[in-house]
Structure 1
Amino acid sequence: MRLKKYNKSIGMLSLIAGTVLLSGCDMVLMNPKGAIGVEQRTLIITAIALMLIVVVPVIFMAFAFAWKYRASNKDAKYSPNWAHSNKIEAVVWTIPIIIIAILGTITWKTTHELDPFKPIVTDKKPMTIEVVSLDWKWLFLYPDQRIATVNSLTVPIGAPLRFELTSGSVMTAFFIPQLGGMIYTMNGMVTQLNLRGDHVGTYKGLASQFSGDGFPDMMFDTNVVSQVDFSNWAANAAKSDQVLDEASYEQLAAQSVETTPKTYRLADPELFGKIASQHIPPAPGPQLSENKSRPERGASHAH
């Protein structure tokens, strides 16, 4: 008997552990390090709490009814002809309507407040960072500092960050979970995202949409540093021997997985505009292996 109970307990624990592992969530969204991330966490918690107002009583009643109306309970009232109750109808309709109304109001309000195009209200001047998604790496351009980096983003603490994003290949999505916000990058288009890092540290950024073989490695570090450290870093980066211009960009845009972050001196401050306007043609995207038939690019890949 003890062995049977032990095996049942192990089975339940295994099921719970497997569910947690398969969820793929490491809870970084619940540990925000920026103003937008904090607002999004509040929205998530509020929405979950409102939904639990319905979920928790339903779960409780499921067990309570099963216990009360079990076969061995002879005192439970049996009403085979019962069909309707105005009180029950009022409860099961009124509560969900109220919750939906509250959720709808919150969603309407936060949709406008957390619009990725909406600048963060602050007395500090926003810093513009241009982002280009490539196969399979991230290129960050700092037009004011005349520097560029690959798979490494460094920003000063507390500064409002104005990201302008495009793709030099296929569509993907830019996401720094602990700073908040996710936005798609598409070739021939420019999207915007406004964020802010409020705590010094290194936070993971990633591509959140599949974009080919190297997608799992398409990640980058976001380094939030002091203003002094950022100024020193930018000054040193501007002296880099590696220069990023149109020719070196075309080499960088070739499909590859970059395991080591790179720093460039930005020789062409208009490079992002040339990429976004397709003055520099976008890369063809993931290719089929040689042993498979390859369709005509003009018919299958329109930009």
Structure 2
Amino acid sequence: MREICGKLFRIALAIAGLTSLGGCSWVLFDTKGSVGLQERDLIILCIGLMLIVVIPAILLTFFFSWRYRASNHEATYAPEWAHSTKIEIVVWGVPILIIVALAAIVWKSTHELDPYRPLDVPGQPINVQVIATDWKWIFIYPDLGIATVNQLVFPAHRQVAFSITSNSTMGTFFIPQLGGQIYAMAGMRTQLHLMANEEGKYRGMSGNFNGPGFSDMKFVATATTEDEFQRWVAQVRTSPIALDFSAFQKVAKPSQGTGVVHFSQVQPGLFKAVIDQFVNPGAAASIHAALDVGAPSKKKE
């Protein structure tokens, strides 16, 4: 009776586990970016190669249990059997071949999917500087002189070159449907290159727990047409707020559930100043003073 109850309990746990998967999102397999497509295909290929060993092993487990059950007296009984060269070749040879294949694939894809490597696509990229703070994202468009909080907009079918850092704890910059994930670390600059293959809104997030506001550290990445992107840039430029280092320090203070904010002007060199304050804290004052010389004048609110 105890064994039956134990089996029923394990079955119930398995059913509950499968039921809970109903809320899972297969967003990584519903990719809308060129990098994401390559990563999806790589995942599927690696899983398929590993299943070459896993599936036969599972099937043979059931086969042997049935074939050599105690009641089957027709099964071969070989108590002295100890070695088979053919079996050894299969048991060791197939996994070795799969490991070699996986090693070659991973080596090749590691270089092709290097996040620092620009995508091989025509046209000028959109440069975006990303600063992770507690607990929000600040996006600076250095070529356009604008910035936003928790809003990322770029044209579809055009490469986006991200430069990423953090003003506080470490996080990870991640847009699952476009592919790629990379750390945002204070005092360091990491890079990521992505491109959306179609227009749409894609969920962005921090994939690394970094404090109580972690769950609110989200943004929407919107891929638009070129015309819509230019209209959005014009809209941001109507904001009465400018982003200099002093304003940045206020924005970067810990907060949760922060909404979208637009900045019509950005102090030149702000992204570098955020990094330099951790690299050489003693020089922070001189850096800020130098930036203030070329800072854009703030619009009156």
TM-score w.r.t. the length of structure 2 is 0.86
Q: Is the 8 A contact 1:146 1:266 kept in 2?
A: yes
Shift of 1:259: 3.7
CA distance in 2, matches of 1:216, 1:57: 41
Give the drift of 1:266: 2.6
Summarize the Cα distance change of 1:260–1:280 in structure 2 as closer, same or farther, 3 Å threshold: farther
- Structure 2 equivalent of residue 143 of structure 1: 142
Aligned-residue RMSD, C-alpha: 2.2
**Partner of 1:278: helix, strand, or coil?**
helix
Deviation at 1:242, TM superposition (A): 2.1
1:298 aligns with: none
Residue 39 of structure 1 aligns with an amino acid whose one-letter code is Q
Matched-pair contact (CA < 8 Å) for 2:204–2:221? yes
- Which amino acid is the alignment partner of residue 202 of structure 2? Y
* Structure 2 unaligned residues grouped into runs of 5+: 282-301
1:38-77 matches, cutoff 5 A = 38-77=37-76
- For 2:41 and 2:264, how far apart are their aligned partners in 1? 40
The letter of the residue matching 1:147 is I
Which position in structure 2 is the counterpart of 1:160?
Answer: 159
For 1:138, the aligned partner's letter is W
Gaps of 5+ in 1: 283-303
**Is 1:210 matched with 2:209?**
yes
- Which string of whole-angstrom CA distances, capped at 9 and with x for unpartnered residues, describes residues 140-194 of structure 1? 1111121111111111001101000000001111111110001001111111000
Q: Which residue of 2 aligns with 1:292?
A: none
Percent identity at matched positions?
Answer: 45
Alignment of 1:229-248 (within 5 A): 229-248=228-247
Listed one character per residue, the Cα deviations across residues 37-90 of structure 1 (whole Å, up to 9, x for unaligned) are: 000001000000000000000000000001111122121111112111000000
Task: Quickly say closer, same or farther: Cα 1:191–1:45, change in 2 above 3 A.
Answer: same
- Aligned 8 A contact 2:136 2:217 in 1: yes
Summarize deviations over 1:4-23 as a string: whole Å, max 9, x none: 9xx96x97476244256379
CA contact (8 A) 1:145 1:238 kept: no
Report the residue type matching 1:89 in the other structure: E
Task: Provide the C-alpha distance between the structure 2 equivalents of 1:120 and 1:94, rounded to a whole number of angstroms.
Answer: 38
Tell me the equivalent position of 1:126: 125
How many residues matched?
A: 276
CA distance in 1, matches of 2:207, 2:280: 24
- TM-score, with length taken from structure 1: 0.86
- Deviates most, 67-76 or 125-134: 67-76
| Equivalences for residues 84-103 of structure 1 within 5 A | 84-103=83-102
Q: Quote the residue 1:290 is aligned against.
A: none
Which residue number corresponds to residue 251 of structure 1? Answer: 250
Per-residue CA deviation, residues 182-226 of structure 1 (Å, 9 max, x unaligned), is: 100111111100000111111111111110111111111111111
**What are the residue-to-residue correspondences of 1:195-206 with 2, within 5 Å?**
195-206=194-205
The answer (yes or no) to whether the contact 1:274–1:280 under 8 Å persists in 2 is: no
Aligned to 2:31: 32
Q: State the distance in 2 between where 1:172 and 1:23 align.
A: 28
Contact 2:136/2:258 (8 A) holds in 1: no
CA contact (8 A) 1:33 1:178 kept: yes
Deviation for aligned residue 1:245: 1.3
Indicate if the aligned counterparts of 2:187 and 2:278 stay in contact, CA closer than 8 A.
no
Q: How far apart, CA to CA, are the structure 2 residues paired with 1:117 and 1:80? A: 59
Distance 1:214 1:11 in 2: 37
